[in-house]
Structure 1
Amino acid sequence: MENIDDILKEAIQKATTERGNITILIAGRSGVGKSTLINSVFQQKIAETGQGRPVTQNTREITKEGVPLTIFDTRGLEMSQFKETQAELEKLIKERASDRDSNRHIHVAWLCIQEDGRRVEEAEVDLHNMLAKHMPVVAVITKARSDNGFKNEVQALLPESKNVVRVRAIREEMDDGHAIEPMGLESLIELTSEVIPEGKRRALAASQKANLNYKKSQSHKIVAGASTAAAAAGASPIPFSDAAILAPIQIGMIAGITSVFGLELSKGTLSTLVASAIGVGGATFVGRTVVVNIMKFFPGIGTVAGGAISAATASAITIALGEAYIAVLAEIFAENPDAVPTAGEIGEKLKQKMKKAGA
């Protein structure tokens, strides 16, 4: 069996590679609320805390260490030199599209239009038409309070947009004393997911904090894949071979889920989580594995039966572990979307969850 350090290292590398990086271009006039939207949707208030650098006269590239997201924040829609601004932006888009690294492509554009203004400017239509030639565009109506047919108007004027979604990024206190809550952010993530390459959906899940169910759905896919691989490993007719194969599969699953939830993916974090999982489920797992592997020593029906039982067991244990881990992370982030839990805190909650589940 591989050294545990090697398994951890490989799991981190695989999870990081499979998650990749997503790039979103966010365009809109001054005052439309782009920074507020970005900070409400994405982790670590990236519009405030991220590193920004100018890539054209009116476009900034924003990144943040540990967040698999690049944002191009485009400004200058009101400027008299708008045609020059748009030409510079299109040049940048084409350069990115020609890069061999798909992580550097611009995968989707959010064109933000403020609902209060009740109009779509000619510059916004022109920009929409240009962007739609190169990437999927989602029209985002910001500061949504009262539609009054404006969404239909936007859809008619921006027909190349893949969808139009009304959002309100933050809770707003009205003059009459009542408050209106944020809206549309979960839908924005779901609609964006539908138009980006499938290989970028884990990066979207990891980067955003607005849609917890989206993180969970991407994590369930990882568990399903690990379960299938575990069943195949468990069905191996070679005695004791499955234990050596199962460990990397289950550690890889934990790494993948960790990355999708946007948590730090380091050897220290992963080793703490693995130790917590094994500490609860290890004895049961070892007991079942030994019995089944002894059966494999008997030729004929013993081998077939042993393999079948082991496959089912390996799959069931893998699913139980993965789903328990997803449930723990979901509980943490449901309570606080901006939480930064330590590996020790997560590991303790995982132990408790698995004990309750009888793992």
Structure 2
Amino acid sequence: MDFKADDFNFEEEYSKIKSSIKRPNILLCGATGVGKSSVINKVFGRNVAEVGSGQAVTRGITKYQDENLDINLYDSEGYEIGSIAQSDFHKNIIGFIDDQRIKSHNLSEQIHMAWYCISAGNKRITELDFEVIREIQKKNVKVAVLFTQIDSVDEEELNDISNTLQQGINNIESFNLSIYNEVPKEYLDWEKLMKWSVENLDESLREGFLNSTIIGLEEKKKHIRKVVIPRYAVSAAGIAISPVPLSDSALLMPLQTTMALHIFNIWGVNKNKQAIKTLLSATIISQLGKSVAKMLAGNIFKLLPGFGDVVGGAINTVVASSLTYTIGYAISEICYKYSESVLKGENIDILEFFTFSNIEEQLKHFSKANNRGV
């Protein structure tokens, strides 16, 4: 039995994936000029306030949405330090959080997380900052302090402001950030911010966040490997409850193609839909399926549970699950390498990464890792 890509409705399957995603609501706070836009650009690859659709939801709070992102950003109007607008800033933020809870008991409408931006360049944390952060915590909203523009201070000054925060507020996480490449990576906490954000979002909201970020590659990879791929592997086992011939592994290909679309969506490499369709139609699933089946037949994966259990050339539930998991792993790892190249500023077509040699390389890595018990 051959899998015919022309019979697979890519648009319909992609729409199903997108419609299942729940959007996290992230509140951005901070004084005027603390670099909120720079944070948004760095994390999401675009200034949502410029390209998205802004809607004033209440005084001092604007909601931004972007059709290419699976999040809602709520941007609070900043304040000038020492201005009379400071009291409005406090009222607007806390009042908005309360209003969202009063208006709707639905979790999807409430604020799920707050990023409070403080410019390290100001070398101080105002009493208003302390008050608002404490109030957000009291509302049981996860909040982190983002020390922005750390390139404008030295290490001692940065430590001083960090210590001031910790002394003033209990159980608060802070992250040191700068958008300038001149700052050594060991001083930057972008990846730590991504990890904290994922861990502090409800599990149902994590994928929407990960789909939207262009950084946090390790978190994307972890989510795909621990959450997404196992879901499809279980479904593959269901298809193979009645063992099918190894030669008929194409029965699993529609499911595996949907899995590939899902993985592409999280990695954000699905923007060129025609290229992805070409890739899935002609290359990925068929090449991977043949390569993994070859390994199965040759017992290369005999140390993995189920891989040696191919009775009479038939795919049983464990083998179908393992086959699907391996395909998902290889696709995600190649997307990871592609995303690394994009972040480095390299202009490379995704099609150039999905070569037969790259696929074989990832399968070998997977085999070695599992044989080591990784």
Tell me the C-alpha RMSD between the 2 structures. 3.7
Alignment partner, residue 74 of structure 1: 76
Alignment partner, residue 177 of structure 2: 167
Alignment partner, residue 154 of structure 1: 165
Alignment of 1:207-356 (within 5 A): 207-221=212-226, 222-237=228-243, 246-264=252-270, 268=274, 271-275=277-281, 276-281=283-288, 305=311, 309-337=315-343, 345-347=349-351, 349-352=353-356, 353-355=358-360
Q: Deviations over 1:121-163 (max 9, x none)?
A: 12112211222214111111222242233212202223253x1
- How far the C-alpha of 1:244 sits from its partner, in A, is 7.8
Corresponding letter in the other structure for 2:287? V
Match of 1:105 among 107, 110, 113: 110
Corresponding letter in the other structure for 1:86? H
1:40 maps onto 2:32 in alignment: no
What SS does the aligned partner of 2:353 have?
helix
Alignment partner, residue 12 of structure 1: 14
- How far the C-alpha of 1:65 sits from its partner, in A, is 1.9
Q: Deviations over 1:251-297 (max 9, x none)?
A: 221122112112337975653332122442455689999xxxxxxxx
Alignment partner, residue 301 of structure 1: none
- How far the C-alpha of 1:106 sits from its partner, in A, is 1.8
**Preserved contact between residue 235 and residue 307 of structure 1 (Cα < 8 Å):** no
Match of 1:126 among 128, 131, 142: 131
Match of 1:28 among 22, 26, 30: 30
Match of 2:92 among 84, 88, 91: 88
**Preserved contact between residue 236 and residue 324 of structure 2 (Cα < 8 Å):** yes
Corresponding letter in the other structure for 1:261? W
Task: Summarize the Cα distance change of 1:29–1:17 in structure 2 as closer, same or farther, 3 Å threshold.
Answer: same
255-264 vs 5-14, which moves further:
5-14
Alignment partner, residue 64 of structure 1: 66
What SS does the aligned partner of 2:19 have?
helix
Task: Summarize the Cα distance change of 1:307–1:82 in structure 2 as closer, same or farther, 3 Å threshold.
Answer: farther
Task: Summarize the Cα distance change of 1:37–1:93 in structure 2 as closer, same or farther, 3 Å threshold.
Answer: same
TM-score with structure 1 length normalisation? 0.78
- How far the C-alpha of 1:109 sits from its partner, in A, is 0.2
- How far the C-alpha of 1:39 sits from its partner, in A, is 1.0
What SS does the aligned partner of 2:316 have?
helix
What SS does the aligned partner of 1:151 have?
helix
Alignment partner, residue 302 of structure 2: none
**Preserved contact between residue 236 and residue 307 of structure 1 (Cα < 8 Å):** no
260-269 vs 217-226, which moves further:
260-269
**Preserved contact between residue 206 and residue 261 of structure 1 (Cα < 8 Å):** yes
Corresponding letter in the other structure for 2:175? V
Q: Deviations over 1:155-188 (max 9, x none)?
A: 2223253x1222223234xxxxxx6557111111
**Count of residue pairs the alignment pairs up:** 338
- How far the C-alpha of 1:11 sits from its partner, in A, is 3.0
- How far the C-alpha of 1:215 sits from its partner, in A, is 1.5
What SS does the aligned partner of 1:223 have?
helix
What SS does the aligned partner of 1:138 have?
strand
Task: Summarize the Cα distance change of 1:263–1:354 in structure 2 as closer, same or farther, 3 Å threshold.
Answer: closer
